[in-house]
Structure 1
Amino acid sequence: MARRREPVVPDAILDQLLGEADAKTAFDQNGLLDQLKKALAERALKAELDSPGR
């Protein structure tokens, strides 16, 4: 019998990110996916600016 793999992102974290929103809206314009991409880009840019040698 095949063993079920653990999800990359645990359900508890997804539930926390979605809050009360419907998961179907995550792909809408300005939905969760767009918000996550923006937050990740901002974090990456901040890390680049904060890195030594700049």
Structure 2
Amino acid sequence: MKEFLFLFHSTVGVIQTRKALQAAGMTFRVSDIPRDLRGGCGLCIWLTC
């Protein structure tokens, strides 16, 4: 399995992407952005596929 990290400029993008991933039945988690990548809204989505 591979894991992908999605970074966002705003929480709106996180919410929209989360809803789309849930509807598609994808495995993911929303978390704080890792310290070395800080920026944007402070949230990211880890997608496992």
TM-score calculated relative to the size of structure 1: 0.30
Instruction: Considering fraction of residues, name the structure with more strand.
Output: 2
Greater gyration radius: 1
Hey, which of these two has a bigger chunk of helix by percent? 1
Q: Which has the higher contact order (CA 8 A, sep 6+)?
A: 2
